[in-house]
Structure formats: structure tokens, C-alpha cells
């Protein structure tokens, strides 16, 4: 059974987050954090592929979707606190936590601050640090959006999000993602870009002591396999998985593969 009604939770600083709780078999609980400039619908294909295996919490991060869009600055730690407040609101002491791209950075920050609340961790198409030139690169992307609107970035984004073959075979999925992207608030988008440029969660990785899976596409140019490999090598016991021919939006391009990883994390987390 699934509850497709969007609800609202309020964080400690008064920001309202839009969320949806999809009921499953009760075998586990998983909270899913979406990519930059997406919203909770980003995870719908993956949740469908889970086939009710677990209860799933989907939500719009602050600055995104139907959630509030307060002025910045933003930080991954701020977004992590939002996740903690949302878990409190729905009555979850702990959960399997998974994120893609930006969502992975938020999941890492949450795991660093609230390790006792993490049953297992899924990191997809993401990184703990974007590199030395990240602040400059992310500022340039934000400035391009502020100057020309989100539409100025669409061509660049589509080819990074999805492989050539997927774009050709699934124009409906691509256009839905583009539609969500175009609806973004420019100032919130710019604040989130700055957040990612400043994010660095590398120091926390060796301290994680819960099951973890790191997966990345071979064609992911946004967070390349070397970034994923670094995380896996620095998180004790983490599994590292390569997805052949997949680009940056694996939860949309290969949702069944991501769902399979989540099922394994749910099983591993339930044994703790």
C-alpha cells in the first residue's frame, strides 16, 4: 500500500519540507535524498522497482520542489539537520539512508553528524568532495543560471544526466526531469550550487561503521568513478559497484539496479 499524499513537516528553523511516505511491507525503512534541482519524484521509479519491499520516505530538500526556499547560505550540514528533523516528524529513530549526487553529499553529512541514526548508507553518483576548483566551477554554473535562467543549462545537463542511448529511447523520462529542473527558484539553486562547491565530508569517511554501498556509472562525468572509488576505499567495508554505460542519474536510468542495491542495504541494516 502506498500513500501518495504530500504532507508537510517543519524543521527546527521553521523551514517547511514537503514529503511523502510510501508504505511497504515494513521489512525496513529507507529515506531517499534527491539530486540537485530535482524533487521527490526523482525516486519514484526506484521506489516502484522496490515493489513494496520497505517503507520509503521521499521529500523535497529545502530550496527545492514544494518545500520552502529560504535565502542562503546553505550547507550540507544544514540539509542533514533537515533530514534529522523530518525523521523525527515521521517517528523514525533510524533508517537506511540513500542519496544521489547532491543527495549523496547530504547523506554523507547526515552520517557524519548522526551516525547512530544510520542503519545503512547508499551513495549513488556522488562524491565527498568535488575538488580544489569546486567553488569556482559551481559559482560559474550558478552565475549562468542567474544570468540566463535555468533554461540556459538544459542542454548541458541532459547530456550529463543520461546516456545517449537512454535519451533516445526514453524521451518522456528526460523531459520530465527537464520540467522539474526548469521550475527551480534561481536564488535557491544558486545557494545550493555554492553549498556543493564548499562541501567536503572526506574526514568523516573512515569513521563510518554501518553497511555501505557506493555505485557509479561508467559514463558519469559529473561525479566520475574515481570519486566513488575514493569513498569506497575510505569507508570501512564499503562495497563498490560500477554500472556499465550509465551516466549521472542512475535512479532514473537504471532504477531496478538501484532498487537491488537498496534491498541489500535494507537487509544488511536490519541485521545490526
Find out whether 110 and 128 touch, Cβ atoms under 8 Å. no
Beta bridge partners of 123: 99, 214
pLDDT in tens, 92-120: 999 999 999 999 999 999 999 999 999 99
Find out whether 136 and 224 touch, Cβ atoms under 8 Å. no
Domains of the chain: 7-130+199-270 (3.40.50.1820)
Which residue from 126, 86, 139 is spatially nearest to 229, judged by alpha carbons? Answer: 126
User: Chain-wide mean pLDDT for the chain?
Assistant: 96
The radius of gyration computed from the CA coordinates of the chain, to the nearest angstrom, equals 17
CA distance 50 to 240: 21
Residue pointed to by grid coordinates 511497504: 24
pLDDT in tens, 238-261: 999 999 999 999 999 999 999 999
Residue 1 in this model has a pLDDT that exceeds 80? no
Instruction: Give the β-pairing of 118-124 and 95-100.
Output: parallel
Across the range 72-87, mean pLDDT stands at 98
- Give me the DSSP letters along 163-232: -HHHHHH-HHHHHHHHHHHHT--HHHHHHHHHHHHH-B-GGGGGG--S-EEEEEETT-SSS-HHHHHHHH
Q: DSSP 3-state assignment of 66? A: coil
CA distance 26 to 97: 16
The pLDDT of residue 133 is: 97
CA distance 13 to 179: 29
Does the global pTM surpass 0.85?
yes
The pLDDT of residue 4 is: 64
The pLDDT of residue 26 is: 78
Q: How confident is the model at residue 162 (pLDDT cuts 50, 70, 90)?
A: very high
Amino acid at each position: 500500500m502506498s500513500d501518495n499524499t504530500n504532507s508537510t513537516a517543519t524543521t527546527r528553523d521553521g523551514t517547511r519540507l514537503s514529503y511523502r511516505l510510501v508504505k511497504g511491507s515494513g521489512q525496513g525503512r529507507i529515506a531517499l535524498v534527491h539530486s540537485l534541482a530535482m524533487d521527490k519524484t526523482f525516486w519514484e521509479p526506484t521506489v516502484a522497482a522496490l515493489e513494496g519491499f520497505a517503507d520509503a520516505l521521499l521529500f523535497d530538500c529545502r530550496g527545492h520542489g514544494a518545500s520552502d526556499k529560504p535565502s542562503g547560505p546553505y550547507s550540507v550540514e544544514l540539509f542533514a539537520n533537515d533530514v534529522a528533523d523530518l525523521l523525527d516528524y515521521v517517528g523514525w529513530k533510524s533508517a537506511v539512508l540513500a542519496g544521489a549526487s547532491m543527495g549523496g553529499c547530504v547523506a554523507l553529512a547526515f552520517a557524519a553528524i548522526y551516525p547512530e541514526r544510520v542503519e545503512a548508507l547508499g551513495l549513488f553518483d556522488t562524491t565527498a568532495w568535488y575538488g580544489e576548483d569546486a567553488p569556482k566551477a559551481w559559482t560559474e554554473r550558478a552565475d549562468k543560471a542567474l544570468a540566463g535562467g535555468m533554461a540556459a543549462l538544459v542542454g548541458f545537463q541532459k547530456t550529463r544526466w543520461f546516456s545517449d542511448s537512454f535519451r533516445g529511447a526514453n524521451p518522456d523520462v528526460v523531459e520530465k526531469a527537464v520540467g522539474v529542473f526548469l521550475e527551480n527558484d534561481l536564488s535557491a539553486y544558486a545557494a545550493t550550487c555554492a553549498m556543493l562547491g564548499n562541501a567536503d565530508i572526506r574526514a568523516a569517511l573512515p569513521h563510518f561503521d554501518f553497511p555501505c554501498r557506493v555505485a557509479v556509472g561508467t559514463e558519469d562525468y559529473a561525479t566520475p568513478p574515481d570519486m566513488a572509488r575514493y569513498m569506497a576505499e575510505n569507508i570501512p567495508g564499503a562495497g563498490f559497484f560500477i554500472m556499465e554505460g550509465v551516466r549521472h542519474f542512475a535512479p532514473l536510468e537504471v532504477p531496478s539496479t538501484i532498487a537491488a542495491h537498496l534491498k541489500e542495504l535494507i537487509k544488511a541494516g536490519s541485521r545490526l
